[in-house]
């Protein structure tokens, strides 16, 4: 098997019109939530930590669009986009974010939390980044043992690529040919330290060679390219050929959390402009009128969701002790 890192497929691969519109709609819906939360936090503050994913929507929507609804998802901590694209509703996600009991974790969350929906394979998130490598591998073992052809997508950042859990999971996952797709959103920053100071090699995908799995580099701002690379990796995993490591090169527009002044950074003004904006890049493929209408619907959906969520109750003492034991 070739273990040399390769460039992912170029954008513009085969995609049907309705699929293209669905994809654009998801990028737009994620963007609308990002901008809404940015505005809300600026105006009202926020009790927890919010790690914005502005500018990374194309990876989230693009990769998840290559999954089946019964495939598994371990999402990363920047944004709501992964779970939204997988099929969770913005009302549920915002309810979790604002610690409201109708959220998926019943009011236990707050800030960037642990959305979950096992019915559509959304398997939650740890508080310790990089912990989903080993958990996701285990989900893959069950998928395999139970005779399903489900695939597990595991998102992570360049920061968590440093965790030893990746090595421990990748080694055995490759030997056992577990149905995994690792998607690294390399935005160049592990909180305050640039990737060049953390990694002796430029590409995280190059590490795939050590585990005998394909390493693929893809432009993370190009939603269709991410989708195409993920489709290939998913097909490989589903066919029983084992994991693939995809590295989507992207950038971090906002701070580690909303409110992070990024004093350690000189490369970006603090704003909402997204260089090489994935929404604009994908928009070129969609008729302008249609895109305008989708954007408008996305904004309306986000606004309505927030309004609904802010009227919801937070949990009380009963919630605190629920869910420890089966």
Residue ranges that bind other proteins, judged by CB under 8 A: 72, 103-108, 114, 116-118, 123-124, 126-128, 131, 133-143, 145-146, 164-165, 167-169, 171-172, 175-176, 322-326
Task: Residue 84: count other Cβ atoms within 10 Å of its Cβ.
Answer: 23
Q: Which is nearer to other proteins, 95 or 233 (CB)?
A: 95
Q: What is 113-177 written as a DSSP string?
A: ----BGGGTB----SSTTTHHHHHHHHHHHHHHTT----EEEEEETTGGG-HHHHHHHHHHHHTT
- Find the shortest distance in angstroms from Cβ 61 to other proteins: 23
Q: Pick the closer one to other proteins by CB: 108 or 299.
A: 108
CB of 40 to other proteins, least distance (A): 23
Cβ-based nearer residue to other proteins, 124 or 157: 124
CB of 116 or CB of 302, closer to other proteins: 116
CA distance 133 to 155: 9
- Shortest Cβ 151–other proteins spacing (Å): 12
Residue 66 or 137 having the CB closest to other proteins: 137
Residue 49: CB atoms within 10 Å:
15
Measured from the CB of residue 47, what is the shortest distance to other proteins in angstroms?
Answer: 17
Query: What region does 224 belong to: left with phi over 0, alpha with psi -120 to 50, or beta?
Result: alpha
Closest contact distance (angstroms) between CB of 70 and other proteins is: 11
Neighbours of 174 (CB within 10 A): 18
């Amino acid at each position: 098997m070739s273990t040399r890192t390769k460039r992912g497929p170029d954008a513009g691969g085969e995609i049907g019109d309705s699929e293209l519109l669905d994809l654009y709609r998801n990028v737009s819906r994620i963007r609308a939530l990002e901008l809404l939360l940015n505005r809300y936090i600026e105006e009202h503050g926020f009790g927890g930590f919010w790690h914005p994913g502005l500018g990374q929507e194309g990876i989230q929507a693009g990769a998840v669009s290559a999954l089946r609804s019964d495939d598994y998802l371990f999402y990363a901590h920047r944004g709501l986009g992964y779970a939204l694209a997988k099929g969770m509703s913005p009302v549920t996600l915002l309810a979790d974010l604002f610690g409201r009991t109708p959220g998926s974790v019943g009011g236990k969350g707050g800030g960037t939390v642990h959305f979950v929906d096992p019915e559509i394979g959304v398997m939650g998130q740890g508080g310790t980044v990089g912990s989903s490598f080993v958990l996701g591998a285990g989900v893959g073992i069950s998928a395999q043992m139970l005779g399903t052809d489900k695939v597990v997508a595991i998102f992570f950042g360049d920061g968590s690529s440093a965790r030893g859990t990746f090595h421990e999971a990748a080694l055995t996952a490759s030997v056992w040919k577990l149905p995994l797709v690792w998607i690294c959103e390399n935005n160049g920053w592990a909180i305050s330290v640039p990737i060049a100071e953390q990694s002796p090699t430029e590409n995280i995908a190059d590490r795939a060679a050590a585990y005998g799995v394909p390493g693929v580099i893809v432009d993370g701002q190009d939603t269709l390219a991410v989708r195409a690379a993920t489709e290939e990796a998913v097909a490989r995993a589903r066919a029983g050929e084992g994991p693939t490591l995809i590295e989507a090169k992207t950038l971090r527009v906002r701070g580690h959390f909303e409110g992070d002044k990024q004093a350690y950074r000189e490369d970006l003004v603090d704003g909402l402009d997204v260089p090489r904006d994935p929404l604009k890049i994908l928009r070129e493929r969609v008729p302008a009128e249609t895109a305008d209408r989708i954007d408008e619907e996305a904004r309306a959906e986000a606004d309505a969701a927030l309004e609904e969520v802010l009227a919801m109750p937070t949990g009380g003492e009963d919630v605190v002790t629920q869910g420890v034991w089966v």
